[in-house]
Structure 1
Amino acid sequence: MDVAEAARQWLRDRGAQEIPHAGGSLYDHLGRVHDRLRDLGAGPDLRLAGLTHAAYGTDGFATALLDVAHRDRLRRLVGEPAEAIVYRYGGCDRGHTWRALSRTGQIRSRFTQTVEAPTAAQLRAFVDLSIVNELDVALHDPAIAREHGDYFRSVFGSWAVLASPAVIMDARRVLTF
């Protein structure tokens, strides 16, 4: 079994297919994020992070599949680079981070209340995953798209210098900015 299939099994074992989410279940959403990242040319670590990005919950989705104290379990499953992306993404304090990110390059953790300045590659992975996640939610929940579309357009537009060209082009297409 390859790593992605093992991760899908891990998600099923934790009941992700039973957790409601925009467009069906959390399992469906995670699979779509993985597939969209693949289609946009993301590497294997980012795709695996996309598949498991809600493992610790997020600032926008409180349900966690694994306590952050057990990061080693996810690391063993998807590898250290992918788990680090998941941890950064899940731990992001969006209110303190998103609007200022293109200016500061810093991410505040809701887990530790600390601020980090990731490398350019780490920042790109974080931004790409954040955008692709929200694109999937917006595409599968019109109410969220209406309510948060202007915010997403503003923030993701400012992230254009940080994002992969394919991801920002997809965001512009989906969100029409």
Structure 2
Amino acid sequence: MRTLGAAEIEHPGGTLLEHLQRVNRLLKAWGARSELQLAGLCHAFYGTDGFATSLLPLESRGEVVEIIGAGAEELVYFYASCDRKTSYRTLAGEGGTFRDRFTGHSFSPGPHQRRDFAELTAANELDLAAIDPAFRTAWGDGLLGLLTRLRPLLSDEAWEHTRKVLT
């Protein structure tokens, strides 16, 4: 991460590297499996719909697989590829549509993939809300609405953290 410049990129609460480390620690505290924890640490590799800065181009996916494994890289790509405007509205429900912002392809992810996405989303956004009062003021109500819709997909630990940070 340091060699990719994450320690020099400004991000709410410090640097992007600090944010990635906090997301990783949150997922670990919530009891997430190791692949999801690792995806939390690496979730900004390809940028996101909410944070366009990327550490690596999509063409580096094969190299990322070699470093963090196929399962964790798949989660990183899935998270980064989310077209939030389209996907957030329906993702909580069975058959909800997910739109890949890189390819434009839409599909209905399975329950396991939706749960991982929800948990990573919660960890990412709750870190920002906890560390940055301005972020919480500007986005807290909308974030609480999103995570409430995603509640069926969240672990009890993630939901308790949501309530602690946003209510």
Which bracket does the TM-score occupy, shorter chain normalised?
Answer: over 0.9
Residue segments in structure 2 that go unaligned for 5+ positions in a row: none
Query: Which of the residues 123, 141, 150 maps onto 1:150?
Result: 141
1:111 aligns with 2:102: yes
The answer to which of 81-90 and 160-169 deviates more is 160-169
Moved over 6 A (4+): none
2:86 pairs with 1:82? no
CA contact (8 A) 1:105 1:123 kept: no
The aligned residue for residue 24 of structure 1 is: 14
Q: Within 5 Å, give how 1:1-177 maps onto structure 2.
A: 11-103=1-93, 104-176=95-167
Q: TM-score, normalised by structure 2?
A: 0.96
Q: Which of the pair is proportionally richer in helix?
A: 1
Residue 110 of structure 1 aligns to a residue whose secondary structure is coil
What do residues 117-169 of structure 1 show as CA deviations (whole Å, max 9, x unaligned)?
A: 22211111110000110001111221111111110111110111111221122
- Which amino acid in 2 is paired with 1:58? T
**Cα deviation code 1:22-81 (max 9, x no counterpart):** 110000000000011001100100000000000000000010001012211111111111
Structure 2 residue identity aligned to 1:102: A
Paired residues in the alignment total: 166
Q: CA RMSD in A?
A: 1.0
Identity %: 43
